[in-house]
């Protein structure tokens, strides 16, 4: 079946602009995760959704970052007033249930965001 998909695959924007990054999880997966991967680093946790609600948003770096999942499937990560330091690959993952790390997280290919 289809895996996790993310759009766009690449996004170039100018400093100060607003961007939205989309994630389509595997059908039926209730848990959804966003990570950010800077160049030469491992993925860094941003936020976790269980269903429609954000169960853990402790990784969001500041209030310019926001994510929604209104119907419990597709999620959008929103970044306001982008800064050059926001440039990174944004990864999305989903799992059948978020209640345990025994439930494997399946990762999408990522969106590469470049802020000029």
Partner 1 sequence: GNSVTQMEGPVTLSEEAFLTINCTYTATGYPSLFWYVQYPGEGLQLLLKATKADDKGSNKGFEATYRKETTSFHLEKGSVQVSDSAVYFCALSHINFNKFYFGSGTKLNVKP
Segment interacting with partner 1 (CB under 8 A) among 17-25, 30-38, 60-68, 73-81: 30-38
Pick one of 1, 27, 28, 42: the residue that binds partner 1 (CB under 8 A): 42
Contact 47, 60 (CB under 8 A): yes
Pick one of 108, 111, 113, 115: the residue that binds partner 1 (CB under 8 A): 108
User: Residue 40 — left, alpha, or beta (φ > 0 → left; ψ -120 to 50 → alpha)?
Assistant: left
* Short-list 2, 10, 3, 25, CA closest to 76: 25
Q: By CB under 8 A, is residue 25 in contact with partner 1?
A: no
Number of residues that bind partner 1 (CB under 8 A): 30
Q: Which two tokens stand for residue 71?
A: 């119907």
- How many of the other CB atoms lie within 10 Å of CB of 45? 15
Pick one of 79, 93, 113, 115: the residue that binds partner 1 (CB under 8 A): 93
Pick one of 11, 26, 30, 48: the residue that binds partner 1 (CB under 8 A): 48
């Amino acid at each position: 079946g289809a895996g996790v998909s993310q759009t766009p695959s690449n996004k170039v924007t100018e400093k100060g602009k607003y961007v939205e990054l989309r994630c389509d999880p595997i059908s039926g997966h209730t848990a959804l995760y966003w990570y950010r991967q800077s160049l030469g680093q491992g993925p860094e946790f941003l936020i976790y959704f269980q269903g429609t609600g954000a169960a853990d948003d402790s990784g969001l770096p500041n209030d310019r970052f926001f994510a929604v999942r209104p119907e419990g499937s597709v999620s959008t990560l929103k970044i306001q007033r982008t800064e050059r330091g926001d440039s990174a690959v944004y990864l999305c993952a989903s799992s059948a249930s978020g209640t345990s790390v025994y439930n494997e997280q399946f990762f999408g290919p990522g969106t590469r965001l470049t802020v000029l």
